[in-house]
Structure 1
Amino acid sequence: MFKKSSEDRFEVIYEQGVLNRCKILVDKKTGVNYLFSNEGNGGGLTVLVDREGKPIVSNVETQY
């Protein structure tokens, strides 16, 4: 298991589910939001986008 540190690049800002899990992660350097989903042994990661197809970006200057 990896040790969590204050230098971690990604932060989980939302989680749901137990067996079928979804998490939203924010890259603390770029602010880009990602959706991670897993079920059993499978999983996937994708960039979250808005209606125009542009990546959703959090303001990292004020949050991190």
Structure 2
Amino acid sequence: MGKSDERFEKVYTQGVLTITEIWVDKTTGVNYIYHTNGSAGGLTPLLDRDGKAVVSTIYNS
């Protein structure tokens, strides 16, 4: 499976020991936020101020 075949793409990262990342599902456009600190971590859909999932436009190339 090549890089272009992967379903998720990391679009943002912040931090070194405590890391926050935003991942986009390239099939649905849904954005997810991933946060890790040490051996603990979590992933959840990224929500806008109305509580709806943030969805990016997907461009199929």
**TM-score if structure 2 supplies the norm length?**
0.91
Deviation at 1:54, TM superposition (A): 0.5
Equivalenced residue count is 61
**TM-score if structure 1 supplies the norm length?**
0.87
Query: Which of 14, 29, 32 is the equivalent residue of 2:30?
Result: 32
Deviation at 1:15, TM superposition (A): 0.2
Name the residue aligned to 2:53.
55
Equivalent-residue separation in structure 2 for 1:4 and 1:19 (angstroms): 29
Deviation at 1:6, TM superposition (A): 1.5
Gaps of 5+ in 1: none
Matched, 1:13 2:11: yes
How much is the aligned-residue C-alpha RMSD, in angstroms?
1.7
Name the residue aligned to 2:42.
44
Where do 4+ consecutive residues of structure 1 move more than 2 Å?
none
Gaps of 5+ in 2: none
